[in-house]
Structure 1
Amino acid sequence: MSALPAPGPTIVRRPTAEGGGDWPPGILPVLRRIYASRGVHGLEQARPRLAGLPSPDTLAGIQQATELLSDAIATGRPIQVVGDFDCDGATACAVAIRGLRMLGATHLWHAVPNRITHGYGLSPSLVDTLAQTGCATPSGLARLLVTVDHGIACHAGIAAAKARGWSVLVTDHHLPGKSLPPADVIVNPNQRDDAFPAKSLAGVGVIFYVLLGLRRHLRALGRLPDPEPDLASLLDLVAVGTVADLVPLDGHNRALVSAGLRRLRAGHGVPGLQALIDVAGRDRSRLGASDIGFAIAPRINAAGRLEDMALGIECLLCDEPGRARELAAVLDGINAERRGVQQGMVEEAEALAERCSRGLSGSLPSALCLFDADWHPGVVGLVASRLKEAMHRPVVAFAPSEPGSDQLRGSARSIPGFHIRDALAAVDAAEPGMIGKFGGHAMAAGLSLPREALPAFEAALVAHAESVIDPGLLQMELLSDGPLEACELDRRHAEALRDGGPWGQGFPEPLFDGVFEVLAWRPVGTRHLRLDLDSGAGRIAGIHFGGWNGTPPAPRIRIAYRLQPDDYRGGDAVQLVVVHREDAF
């Protein structure tokens, strides 16, 4: 068994990178250095533009997809967009409905599975439910289903839809399994032998590309509405779904997110997103990717976790500001309930992990599997994420698929260097038939499992993790961009760092470290710590969220921190947001 991680993370400085390249004078030297450490050497790479995105024509399946959609629009065939119950799936559904409507579709519906009733994605039970709903048109044509942010693993559901005579277009970004489902067309940049360069698109990015291809196809046919639809108006939704799904913010995704943030900051977002920004108390003019990740996306996600994502999609599709505010307020309330449920489950999971470590003489396995019969299946992903951060090892959290069920839903989160979806594939190969179904990415995945199979699954996953994980990966590291000089701890640098992104997965927000004298301190609430620090050129404020444990800080501390404008105090005020602190001697 691998040892427990050392108490707290280790601060490790990134290798020094030359800050050269083609930069205008306004880009500060520290920002050039940070860009260089992330492999960016010029303004075009640092701030990619939409014009630099690859053509939709290079995406495998795009021609067949656009022909299928254009024929459906021309003949009045009913099109039903099937979403998913996370933020990426919800925004992808909204983008599909809004975009197809802009491009001339009139017989258009959407649906989303209920987590408890239908399970994940386009399942046979969801197909049965859809068959009992509308979609009747004067043409009498069989419907066309368009999946967004799922479908690549929905073999049974797609077969059920095909058996009813429906057509199915899959748009997805998850990694495919050994075989592809029997859809009419599949658009997924992660299919084998697909040369499309933007492999990190979220589900909302994939459907946006399908719409771009459809617009080009309709233009060639002379069938575009007049005036030509501006699909860039959908980029606010694309940005939210992309950030929420934690896909790497490579150049392609940064171009999409940057354009969407510009729309949101200018007040041009859809009414539902504007209402969510307001109810979260965020400043629209300074909105960043972190505001999406920590304020907007959780409120959309909460609907799918505890209630029905149809409510979140309704908010994103709503065009009446008053109604959008009402929906946003409901989502805010559900999110508050979700936080309470999550906190209780996290505390229980931490207690389980502690008991596990005591039972193993102070050691933990390289991967953790946790289950409680009273947990909510919609929140296990958040529990797995929190435990992964605390324990710095892969975590799979399970809950009954519904109260009293013997079928479990699991959500997995991983650490860099351990591909969790491939790990599930390895377990599935070693124990055929044990896992009901699974899918996901390198860092996050989901699965279903019979309850009686949980011990065997845990043993197989731990054995696989022990065989491939270097023990050094289990020590959490905070990658620092080094120290900032005292003269750089000012508003100019803070704003340049804030606006130099969007920062996020795969393009991390700048983090610095240094040693400071503590001039004064005080607790804030029950968990946080306010600090006054000696910067070397005067006093500077610091805040350590979650940093108050009842013990006064040492007179001299080393901290990992982010430099941010202090908008609460205003003016030239800045503060250091402390991520980690340790005594300095």
Structure 2
Amino acid sequence: MKKDPFWVVAPLNRELTLKLASELELPPLLIHILLTRGLNDPHEIYRHLNPKLSDFPDPFLLEDMEIAVKRLIKAIQTRENIAIYGDYDVDGTTGAAIVYLFLKELGLEPQVIFPHRERDGYGLHPHLVASLKEKGITLLISVDCGISAYEACQVAREKGLDVIITDHHEVPEKLPEALAVINPKRRENRYPFKELAGVGVAFALLRALRQRLYEEGFFSKSPPKLKSYLDLVALGTVADIVPLFGENRLIAWFGLEELKQSKRPGIKALKKLTGLENGRLDTNSIMFRLAPRINAAGRLKEAMLAFKLFITEDEEEAQNIAEELHQLNTKRQQIEDRILKEALSQIEKNLGFDRLSYVLASEDWPPGVIGIVASRLQETFYRPVILLSLKDGLARGSGRSIPEINLYQCLADCCQHLKAFGGHPAAAGLKILEKDIEAFAKEFEEIVKARLDGKIPKPRLQLDAWVRVKHILDPCFLENFMKLEPFGPGYPEPLFGLRNFQVRNISLVKEKHLKFFIWQEGVGLEAVAFRFGNSIPETIKALAGNLEITSFQGRNYLQLRIKDLKN
């Protein structure tokens, strides 16, 4: 019962578009695309299209950064035993890897810990922190977690451990009592960018540490090149689905280049396994090929497996880990399909299709996979969805939401039913007692209903403009169009609408994909519509699609990837 989107076309500011196009000597259509994404200053547009490494903000503008760096320098000078505690997803494992590799370059041998998704769940856990003192640890660095770790920080203090928290999740009113809490969302920050992923915050810590060590004459030779870490930083940033503008764009821009030429055996093995060793590598490659396999480690086994993939220098070990991740991902897909069928059955039999939210639970759903299924259900029904995995009277859950509903705030509004929760407006995790689920689901539905103010949410397809084929095939436009990449959340691919064209050579590929040529005013463009049914439509009056450059057998060519059709 997938919701059909309605099309909305971005308004055109003709006067400003033509003014900037003339000033910057760029095609008006390109300027219009940038304006719709909030870029309206000529200097800002130039920097956006021509990014430099020097554009990264001063990391010391982050609150507590000076404290963290001073403590780390002391630990480096006295060769203390340091532990790195990362989350079990791509963001957390890449973040832990860059901190580990950097400290190793400085001559240390940090220990690395990840919670187990099923045994421990998300977060910085007191029992794992308590065990560190016995291992001689005196300093703990969290990556992609810890912003609500009150009890764990208290345990660390009692054990004589200093804690540096690096996190990017929503900041609670009260901070944990750690030595330093580095989070760009803290209100006290003067840092210009708030939307870093966890690995991005960890990278800011490394930038600050390297800068201070350089100023103090620590390096007898050349200091470590942080640019070489950007392959992992980009991997974690894109996988965590944070907005790809501002600093995240810099990370993705330079990181994708590093990822393409990465010499890390693990990255090379995974690229080869997924067919990306010689082909085009972009944000979609990360989100749909690399990230699912890396995430499979924490979902179905141990996050340490992914971490080892990033740090190993042994090609045989890298190949073995990559193959194991691939097998785990195949298993994950099978489990995911089963859970999806069971969740749809629950909706059909017990809840119906007229609700504004869905809270579903089962003892047979592994907690490591339910987030993906929640996302698929959210896309299908265009409603906030929370799936819960039950065990021994306790449920661990994962939720996904729509743009109209801030999931984190909704959970905060009914937190009296919850044992714990955290996350973002679009995605969150929670813990709840099984006996409280029914009351929570009822209140959650009422909160969503109130926030929608009686309106039924319906997905929108935001078109940048109605265009002619000749406009998007213009050589000047295509040359500059390439500079718009990389695309991602918060900075979407341009979506063009076309009408008044001829359809030629239409065919059905593998009984579910459409392939045809759009012909208009003497020029043509190949188009492909994936998963658009098992029949050829009699007419196509309008279409919405993304212009993409695809690779096949070593050659690049243009095509329009169709998002929606109007018959």
TM-score of the superposition, structure 2-length normalised? 0.92
Shift of 1:50: 2.4
Return the alpha-carbon distance in structure 1 between the equivalents of residues 22 and 250 of structure 2.
18
Alignment partner of 1:98: what SS?
Answer: helix
Shift of 1:353: 2.9
1:190-229 to 2 correspondences below 5 Å: 190-229=185-224
Match of 2:245 among 236, 246, 250: 250
Matched with 1:373 is 363
Q: Do 2:200 and 2:233's aligned partners in 1 also have CA atoms closer than 8 Å?
A: yes
Q: Cα distance 1:271–1:471, how it changes in 2: closer, same or farther (>3 A)?
A: farther
Matched with 2:551 is 567
- AA paired with 1:524? V
Alignment partner of 2:366: what SS?
Answer: coil
Q: Cα distance 1:352–1:514, how it changes in 2: closer, same or farther (>3 A)?
A: farther
Return the alpha-carbon distance in structure 1 between the equivalents of residues 397 and 145 of structure 2.
17
Return the alpha-carbon distance in structure 2 between the equivalents of residues 22 and 31 of structure 1.
8
Return the alpha-carbon distance in structure 1 between the equivalents of residues 22 and 301 of structure 2.
49
Q: Do 1:100 and 1:211's aligned partners in 2 also have CA atoms closer than 8 Å?
A: no
Q: Do 2:487 and 2:493's aligned partners in 1 also have CA atoms closer than 8 Å?
A: yes
Match of 1:324 among 318, 323, 327: 318
Matched with 2:33 is 34
Q: Cα distance 1:570–1:221, how it changes in 2: closer, same or farther (>3 A)?
A: closer
Does residue 57 of structure 2 align to residue 54 of structure 1?
Answer: yes
1:372-391 to 2 correspondences below 5 Å: 372-391=362-381
Matched with 1:336 is 330
Matched with 2:510 is 525
Alignment partner of 1:556: what SS?
Answer: coil
Query: In the TM superposition, what whole-angstrom CA distance separates every residue of 1:224-245 from its partner, at most 9, and x where no partner exists?
Result: 3522121121111111111111
Return the alpha-carbon distance in structure 1 between the equivalents of residues 52 and 455 of structure 2.
38
Query: In the TM superposition, what whole-angstrom CA distance separates every residue of 1:148-173 from its partner, at most 9, and x where no partner exists?
Result: 00000122222223322222111101
Q: Cα distance 1:71–1:22, how it changes in 2: closer, same or farther (>3 A)?
A: farther
| Aligned pairs, number | 558
Q: Do 1:89 and 1:204's aligned partners in 2 also have CA atoms closer than 8 Å?
A: yes
- Which range moves more in the overlay, 470-479 or 334-343? 470-479
- Which range moves more in the overlay, 458-467 or 482-491? 482-491
Return the alpha-carbon distance in structure 2 between the equivalents of residues 497 and 22 of structure 1.
14
Return the alpha-carbon distance in structure 1 between the equivalents of residues 512 and 212 of structure 2.
56
Matched with 1:80 is 83
- AA paired with 2:208? G
Matched with 2:386 is 396
Return the alpha-carbon distance in structure 1 between the equivalents of residues 50 and 346 of structure 2.
45
Return the alpha-carbon distance in structure 1 between the equivalents of residues 339 and 521 of structure 2.
44
Matched with 2:539 is 555
Match of 2:129 among 127, 130, 139: 127
Q: Do 1:491 and 1:574's aligned partners in 2 also have CA atoms closer than 8 Å?
A: no
Does residue 300 of structure 2 align to residue 301 of structure 1?
Answer: no
Does residue 422 of structure 2 align to residue 448 of structure 1?
Answer: no
Return the alpha-carbon distance in structure 1 between the equivalents of residues 479 and 324 of structure 2.
34
Return the alpha-carbon distance in structure 2 between the equivalents of residues 268 and 543 of structure 1.
32
1:177-196 to 2 correspondences below 5 Å: 177-196=172-191
Q: Cα distance 1:64–1:128, how it changes in 2: closer, same or farther (>3 A)?
A: closer
Matched with 1:139 is none
Return the alpha-carbon distance in structure 1 between the equivalents of residues 456 and 53 of structure 2.
36
Q: Do 2:540 and 2:565's aligned partners in 1 also have CA atoms closer than 8 Å?
A: no
Return the alpha-carbon distance in structure 2 between the equivalents of residues 143 and 526 of structure 1.
61
Return the alpha-carbon distance in structure 2 between the equivalents of residues 487 and 162 of structure 1.
66
Q: Cα distance 1:569–1:535, how it changes in 2: closer, same or farther (>3 A)?
A: farther
TM-score of the superposition, structure 1-length normalised? 0.89
Query: In the TM superposition, what whole-angstrom CA distance separates every residue of 1:262-300 from its partner, at most 9, and x where no partner exists?
Result: 2223x1353322222221112556321221111111111
Matched with 2:348 is 354
Return the alpha-carbon distance in structure 2 between the equivalents of residues 294 and 393 of structure 1.
23
Alignment partner of 2:465: what SS?
Answer: coil
Shift of 1:85: 0.8
Return the alpha-carbon distance in structure 1 between the equivalents of residues 557 and 219 of structure 2.
51
Q: Do 1:520 and 1:532's aligned partners in 2 also have CA atoms closer than 8 Å?
A: yes
Shift of 1:96: 0.7
Matched with 2:397 is 410
Return the alpha-carbon distance in structure 1 between the equivalents of residues 107 and 427 of structure 2.
35
Q: Do 1:80 and 1:108's aligned partners in 2 also have CA atoms closer than 8 Å?
A: yes
Q: Do 2:279 and 2:551's aligned partners in 1 also have CA atoms closer than 8 Å?
A: no
Matched with 2:458 is 475
Q: Do 1:118 and 1:126's aligned partners in 2 also have CA atoms closer than 8 Å?
A: no
Does residue 8 of structure 2 align to residue 12 of structure 1?
Answer: yes
Query: In the TM superposition, what whole-angstrom CA distance separates every residue of 1:447-485 from its partner, at most 9, and x where no partner exists?
Result: 111111111111111111111124557110010112331
Shift of 1:90: 0.8
Return the alpha-carbon distance in structure 2 between the equivalents of residues 34 and 237 of structure 1.
29
Match of 1:68 among 43, 58, 71: 71
Return the alpha-carbon distance in structure 2 between the equivalents of residues 303 and 315 of structure 1.
10
Does residue 260 of structure 2 align to residue 276 of structure 1?
Answer: no
1:101-180 to 2 correspondences below 5 Å: 101-102=104-105, 104-128=106-130, 130=132, 135-136=135-136, 142-180=137-175
Query: In the TM superposition, what whole-angstrom CA distance separates every residue of 1:111-147 from its partner, at most 9, and x where no partner exists?
Result: 1111112221211232355566xx44xxxxx421100
Matched with 2:233 is 238
Matched with 1:93 is 96
Q: Do 1:377 and 1:409's aligned partners in 2 also have CA atoms closer than 8 Å?
A: yes
Query: In the TM superposition, what whole-angstrom CA distance separates every residue of 1:21-60 from its partner, at most 9, and x where no partner exists?
Result: 3789785443222112212242213443221222112110
Does residue 427 of structure 2 align to residue 420 of structure 1?
Answer: no
Shift of 1:205: 0.7
Return the alpha-carbon distance in structure 1 between the equivalents of residues 410 and 146 of structure 2.
21
Identity %: 32
Query: In the TM superposition, what whole-angstrom CA distance separates every residue of 1:242-273 from its partner, at most 9, and x where no partner exists?
Result: 111111112211012111112223x1353322
Q: Do 2:508 and 2:536's aligned partners in 1 also have CA atoms closer than 8 Å?
A: no
Return the alpha-carbon distance in structure 2 between the equivalents of residues 406 and 533 of structure 1.
57
Return the alpha-carbon distance in structure 2 between the equivalents of residues 128 and 523 of structure 1.
60
Q: Cα distance 1:77–1:314, how it changes in 2: closer, same or farther (>3 A)?
A: same
Return the alpha-carbon distance in structure 2 between the equivalents of residues 262 and 307 of structure 1.
30
Q: Do 2:508 and 2:535's aligned partners in 1 also have CA atoms closer than 8 Å?
A: no
Alignment partner of 2:70: what SS?
Answer: helix
Q: Cα distance 1:144–1:571, how it changes in 2: closer, same or farther (>3 A)?
A: closer
Query: In the TM superposition, what whole-angstrom CA distance separates every residue of 1:498-546 from its partner, at most 9, and x where no partner exists?
Result: 5521111111111112235443443333543333443453554322222
Shift of 1:426: 1.0
Query: In the TM superposition, what whole-angstrom CA distance separates every residue of 1:183-203 from its partner, at most 9, and x where no partner exists?
Result: 121111112322211101111
Return the alpha-carbon distance in structure 2 between the equivalents of residues 99 and 208 of structure 1.
10
Q: Cα distance 1:330–1:497, how it changes in 2: closer, same or farther (>3 A)?
A: farther
Return the alpha-carbon distance in structure 2 between the equivalents of residues 105 and 391 of structure 1.
52
Pairwise CA RMSD:
2.4
- Which range moves more in the overlay, 40-49 or 412-421? 40-49
